Amino acid sequence: MLIKLTGGTVYDPANGIDGQVRNLFIRDGRIVHSLNGATPDHEYDLRGKVVMAGAIDMHTHIGGGKVTIARNLLPEDHRADPEPRRGLMRAGCGHAAPSTLTTGYRYAEMGYTAGFEPAVLPINARQAHMEMADVPLLDVGGYVMLGSDDFFLRLLSSGSDQQLINDYVAWTIRSAKAIGIKVVNPGGISAFKFNQRMLDLDEKHVYYGVTPRQILKSLARAVHELGVPHPLHVHGCNLGVPGNVETTLNTISGIEGLPMHLTHIQFHSYGVEGDRKFSSGAARVAEAINANKNITIDVGQILFGQTVTASGDSMRQHANAGHAHPDKWVCMDIECDAGCGVVPFKYRDKNFVNALQWCIGLETFLLIEDPWRVFLTTDHPNGAPFTTYPHLIRLLMDKSFRNDMLSTVNPEAAALSTLGTLDREYSLYEIAIMTRAGAARLLGLTDRGHLGAGAAADITVYTDQADKEKMFTRPDYVFKDGELVVRNGEVVKVVWGNLHTVQPEFDGGIEARLRDYFDRYHTMKLDNFVINDWEIEGDGRSKILVHPCHQGARS
Amino acid sequence: MTDNTMARVWDNVPSPFCGIASDDLKIEVAGPSVRVLENGDAVTTPGFERSVTDTAPRVGGKPASMTEAVQRAAAILKDARLAVFSGFGTDVNDTRAALSLIDKARGVFDQARAGGGVRNLLVLADSGWIATTLAEVKNRVEVLLIFGSDVEGAFPRFFERFVWNQETLFGQDPAKREVIYLGRAPSGNAAVSPDGRCPQVIECAPEHLPELAAALSALVRGASLQAETVGGVPVEVLQGVVDRLKRSSYSVVTWVAGQLDFPHADLTVQQVCQAVTALNKETRAAVLPLGGQDGDRTASQVCAWLTGYPTRVSFARGFPEYDPYLNDTARLLSEGEADALVWVSSLSAVPPPAAGLPTVVVGRSGMQFDTEPEVYIPVGVPGIDHAGHMYRCDNVVAMPLYPLRDCGLTSAAAVLAAIEQSL
Ligand SMILES: [Zn+2]
Ligand SMILES: [Zn+2]
């Protein structure tokens, strides 16, 4: 199949192309330099259109146990957003925790072609993959969670060699078919099982005697030394706690230059100034990020309305459960491996705290100078459902719209925020960095997120409009691996995405240790824990893609 | 799982039948016959050993080709105003295929044993809970409180695997664990500790379980009760239980919702859950809802991620609508609202109820009928005849299932996909 995309205005930051008119050629799902004189099977006239790579959501809760708990928890939220069977699309439901099918359709309709589930519990990885397999039209991948699992904490507290920890981390990534490592409230999920209700960066886990700082260093070093492209993905300590900006700054300095990704940093950028003892720490955090090139972040922007927070952080979710709206919530201790907490939440624009959270997220976007190191997320669904992205993009690209919105939120919060004084407007090029090129680079996806020859033909075509929310809501065309899947915002073909993974090397000796550990303490056999290729590829829908790890990162 | 090819003996086989996903079974396969050599129990062994009978479909009681059977099934669905799909008894792929068909046929999705799951899910969606999983029980539980249920009757290996284990991660001696039965006595001795200690058993008549749960919840929250007894149980005995739970660093409260078979039992489950939530103000405690035999949890989980709702979903209006009362198969049949029944059950051999309606069975080979259905398509078992996945009771661990034999039986998923193609 040969396709020519003619005369579009291309934004392809990975290749330094900023709004130049270009033709693009696709041969059998890949972008090529030219068709070598062959006649294309299809040609699309894209004159006057904006062309970008397919968007990549690098942190979105789209599959796994806690998402399905959220689904079971909120039938009333789903009832308000039914998705009837129509055309090629099967029925489902949307809003805060949509059904998997609807998740895929709605992402594709917005021009997204990949989404990464950031909280894959090793023991629940199989479920995460089964759910993500049922998300059509999107490539997927997962970051597997370590740091509160007892095997790791035993290694760390007994002073194990870093090499052994590296082996365990590599083995976990491979057996869970993941692309990175996430740590959530380092050690805190485990500490909560021992009835600890708080664990600050330098506080000791009551049983293991190790601190979150040690956990972060050990895991960040493992990821780095294994050459895993995606840095350690960190949901830090003290989520949502006023004053946690200090913890965040200490976390940044404490990692001592190792690569680290701080996720949903908005929830970790709170100061204690003012009458209400709640203030924005965004400026200080942004300053630290601007100064520390080893750090990347995604924002976890909140947007107003009903949503549900689904997190591995059972400790903090339990602490925040009093704010549940509606008043119901689930926490779980999970399998000496991790935990989770699912708390529905309604962010209100007239509420001081919520309005300031909204400001803090936007300040963060606007104060971080390098768009390659900040990523556009709402931590779906924790800050807002992913369907709000076009609105968020408009807030970033359109200062007068942003200030109009600012004038409608809680005035006390608005007055405390510097948001109204920030003039920056993101350009299309910068949006393309945040949502495509940067995300692909951060994950080590060399053939995604750009439009150069050799890239997979995941391409989104928009009509440029003054109203960027409208523009990004409804692309003209979306191609997935070279197939036209969306036309004028409607799904015209359903394909199934790929699973992106890495396979770092490890010394097989770790497996004997783990086998013994599983036999003694776990409730399943090690062989049944490891996810086999047939489980992903067996029904002919998903393909496993393995991205290379860096060489020579070992110190 | 390893294959000892010559003898056709398989080790570390996971059980899709038992709800706690024991995966240490040793199984021998000779032709179509399956024998559990080690670690079977009263639930799992019959699940594996049920013999294969039919291998060919029947239409109207007469042997038919697969094509004829599939076309007749599709014709029944085309004629139906509202087809109800129940059984489920299935693994992940079978359920996926069924939901795809149900969506297209605008049918209703229910499970034969949805009752227990619905009791729990109503609580989840009304107030939520603090829950735990089997490995946490195995390594942490100090006091295990069993509410109104006979655990070993439904889960024969529960105590062996998760309570009286040899060792724990945190230095606790499992033999010192305390087990308390509240409301119902156990049917056997599984809860007797290895050193011979019997569980504390506090019995009451089944109709008093709701009061008992309410009293437990009130006492945990510090209320003082006027009554001296609740359901015949002295309040001071209940207070003793509550004090013990409060002193425990990690207690687990469990029940088998399928056994709490009385009206509004969800409200009883809710009281128990709220007691546990209240315990967590000071110490740690968690609930463990037991269930999930024969794929009961699996089908509900798959339904939740594919439709956004757990079991008892209707697609009659073209989109999923969740209503655990209205979409109950028994009600739809007795009220005459359904005019076709499709019974999908690849794990359990329990046949459909006699509905007096055109009935299609995509069922495990070996299923026996009092009333022959219009269409019967025998299928293989996930975890015996083909690969698959099942969920265990805690909804967290999905276990891979492996093919152990090949006697020519197709999968329910393949049959359901063929029916969908013919619609
Ligand atoms: Zn998080
Ligand atoms: Zn997240």
Domain boundaries, chain B: 2-46, 56-110+312-422, 117-292
Residue position matching structure tokens 């895993």: A228
Q: Which residues contact B302 (CB under 8 A, 6 or more apart)?
A: B92, B95, B96, B99
Between chains, do A337 and B169 touch, taking CB under 8 Å as contact?
no
Contact residues on chain A for B161, CB-CB shorter than 8 A: 523
Asked whether A464 and A9 are in contact (CB, 8 A), the reply is yes
Between CA B83 and CA B339 the distance in angstroms is 6
- Write the pLDDT tens digit of every residue in B91-131: 999 999 999 999 999 999 999 999 999 999 999 999 999 99
What is the reported pLDDT for A551?
82
What is the reported pLDDT for A130?
98
Instruction: Please report, for residues A270, B9, B225, B255, the alpha-carbon distance to residue B121 in angstroms, rounded to integers and kept in the order given.
Output: 36, 39, 29, 14
**Token representation of residue B73:** 């099934």
Determine how many CB atoms are found less than 10 A away from the CB of residue B168. Answer: 17
Q: Which residues contact A216 (CB under 8 A, 6 or more apart)?
A: A147, A183, A186, A232, A234, A251, A254, A255, A260
Window 269-328 of B: residues touching A by CB (8 A cutoff) are 280, 283-284, 286, 301, 304-310, 315, 317-322
Return residues with CB closer than 5 A to ligand 1 (ion). A 235
Q: Mean pLDDT over residues A505-527, rounded?
A: 97
Distance to chain A for B133, nearest Cα, Å: 6
- Write the pLDDT tens digit of every residue in B306-343: 999 999 999 999 999 999 999 999 999 999 999 999 99
Closest CA relative to residue A25, chosen from A11, A41, A9, A12 = A41
- DSSP-assigned letters across all residues of B100-150: HHHHHHT-EE--TTHHHHHHHHHHHHHTEEEE--HHHHHHH-SEEEEES--
Contact residues on chain A for B128, CB-CB shorter than 8 A: 73, 324, 328-330, 342
Residue B358 has pLDDT above 90, yes or no: yes
- Write the pLDDT tens digit of every residue in A138-191: 999 999 999 999 999 999 999 999 999 999 999 999 999 999 999 999 999 999
* Residue of B20, B127, B310 with shortest CB distance to A72: B310
Average pLDDT over chain B reads: 96
Between CA B329 and CA B326 the distance in angstroms is 9
- Write the pLDDT tens digit of every residue in A291-333: 999 999 999 999 999 999 999 999 999 999 999 999 999 999 9
Average pLDDT over chain A reads: 97
Asked whether A252 and A258 are in contact (CB, 8 A), the reply is no
DSSP helix/strand/coil, B193: coil
What is the reported pLDDT for A210?
98
Between chains, do B135 and A523 touch, taking CB under 8 Å as contact?
yes
Window 291-350 of A: residues touching B by CB (8 A cutoff) are 318, 324, 327-337, 342
Residue A549 has pLDDT above 80, yes or no: yes
Q: Quote the ligand 1 centre to A119 CA distance (angstroms).
A: 7
Q: Which residues contact B62 (CB under 8 A, 6 or more apart)?
A: none
The dihedral region occupied by A544, where left means phi > 0, alpha psi between -120 and 50, and beta the remainder, is beta
Q: Mean pLDDT over residues A449-474, rounded?
A: 98
- Kindly provide the ipTM of the predicted complex, given to two decimals: 0.97
**φ, ψ at B356 (rounded to 5°):** 65, 25
pLDDT band at residue A554, thresholds of 50, 70 and 90?
Answer: low
Between CA B342 and CA B98 the distance in angstroms is 10
What is the reported pLDDT for A555?
46
Beta strands in B235-338 (DSSP E): 250-256, 284-290, 313-314, 321-322
Determine how many CB atoms are found less than 10 A away from the CB of residue A378. Answer: 28
Residue B4 has pLDDT above 70, yes or no: no
Domain boundaries, chain A: 53-498
Contact residues on chain B for A93, CB-CB shorter than 8 A: 307-309, 319-320
The residue of chain B nearest to residue A76, with distances taken between CA atoms, is B125
Any A CB within 8 A of B168 CB: yes
Side-chain-side CA neighbours of B135 within 13 Å: the count stands at 26
User: Which ligand has an atom closest to residue A239 CA?
Assistant: 1
Between CA B256 and CA A27 the distance in angstroms is 57
CA dihedral A206, A209, A211, A217 (to 10 degrees): -150
The helix or strand, by DSSP H or E, that contains position A17, with its residue range, turns out to be strand A17-27
Between CA B29 and CA A508 the distance in angstroms is 32
Q: Quote the ligand 2 centre to A385 CA distance (angstroms).
A: 12
What is the reported pLDDT for A458?
98
- Write the pLDDT tens digit of every residue in B13-52: 999 999 999 999 999 999 999 999 999 999 999 999 999 9
Q: Mean pLDDT over residues A389-411, rounded?
A: 98
Between CA A385 and CA A378 the distance in angstroms is 7
- Write the pLDDT tens digit of every residue in A8-28: 999 999 999 999 999 999 999
Distance to chain B for A92, nearest Cα, Å: 5
Between CA B106 and CA B87 the distance in angstroms is 17
> What's the fold here for domain B56-110+312-422?
Rossmann fold (3.40.50)
DSSP helix/strand/coil, B352: coil
Distance to chain A for B233, nearest Cα, Å: 31
Mutate to test the interface with A, among B27, B397, B401, B420 (most CBs of A within 10 A): B397
Q: Mean pLDDT over residues A246-253, rounded?
A: 98
Asked whether A119 and A61 are in contact (CB, 8 A), the reply is yes
> What's the fold here for domain A53-498?
TIM Barrel (3.20.20)
Residue B7 has pLDDT above 90, yes or no: no
Window 69-108 of A: residues touching B by CB (8 A cutoff) are 69, 71-75, 78-79, 82-85, 90-93, 97-102
DSSP at A292? -
Closest CA relative to residue B104, chosen from B363, B376, B419 = B419
What share of chain B has pLDDT > 70, as a percent? 98
- Write the pLDDT tens digit of every residue in B41-95: 999 999 999 999 999 999 999 999 999 999 999 999 999 999 999 999 999 999 9
**Token representation of residue A539:** 């029904």
Contact residues on chain A for B135, CB-CB shorter than 8 A: 123, 335-337, 521-523
CATH class of B117-292: alpha beta
Asked whether A338 and A151 are in contact (CB, 8 A), the reply is no
Q: Which residues contact B336 (CB under 8 A, 6 or more apart)?
A: none
pLDDT band at residue A552, thresholds of 50, 70 and 90?
Answer: low
